[in-house]
Chains A and B, each alone.
Chain A
């Protein structure tokens, strides 16, 4: 279990770093989606499946979708 938790923490750290390093907003929206998924795995590894479920949908789908729609609208 500790190994899974450590792996999840590592993936989240890398995901957060990648999100900050992606400078193009469209790429950033994709990376933040993966980051949301990683956070979901982290919550699951730390025995919070309710929060994990919420975060997988909000962080990996809803937030990136809103970001990308807003980017597409403002880039016209």
Chain B
């Protein structure tokens, strides 16, 4: 075990803190068990809201993926909120990981770090996986209203393709494939498109995020009104957000240095 740090006056001893924790944990455990024994068996009871949605989603929205119908239509407003939580989080991350005035960009060090660490097998595997990963991301996003998945899942998968590019090649190659102004634009355009589609619902159908497009036939790729469009909007925003997030972390690791550190 680690050495105990010296105790400041007025601070609880380790034994007292452990006693406090054990009392608290016992109380929490008892409450949790009490709550767990009161839960309905999830297989027997589908809540009323679930029954209604399962019954009416395909007919009302032409979406065979009921979860997507909920996310992008019945509760589309919640998704708008979630999207802007992610937007704000990535924004703050970019702010925190920016290059400070006492830091500089090192353009040489990534070479030494990379060339000795990546085997040919890793490079080949990553290069082979980039295409299928992007294809999967597009598929998951475009089929959001048909099968499980949607813009969020597709967007994150798309961003991992960039990680594969970095692992399979080097920093400059990755840099060329993620022009940051374009990435930031895609992220903002996705968020904007979601709001505009919502406003279009307000104008053409009478309520914010109300569907205003023809519903088509359930099961078709172009169907379910605004659901696939909102899914693509979320996909753009999430892909842009996560590419930006990974880029900021990689930049911090590979090229941002304190000014007094020597070039290597």
Contacts and interface: CB of A to CB of B under 8 A. Distances in A.
Partners in one complex: yes
A14 B257 CA distance: 40
Contacts of B54: none
Contacts of B249: 65-66, 69-70, 73
Contact of A57 (B148, B153, B246): B153
Interface residues of B, number: 22
B225 interface: no
A61 interface: yes
B32 to A, nearest CB: 15
Contacts, number: 47
Interface string B155-198: 01101100100000000000000000000000000000000000
Contacts of A9: none
Contacts of A73: 249, 252-253
B153 A61 contact: no
A62 B157 CA distance: 10
Interface string B140-163: 100000001110110011011001
Given A62-B242, A69-B249, A72-B253, A54 B148 contact: no
Interface of A: 46, 49-50, 52-54, 57-58, 61-62, 65-66, 69-70, 72-73
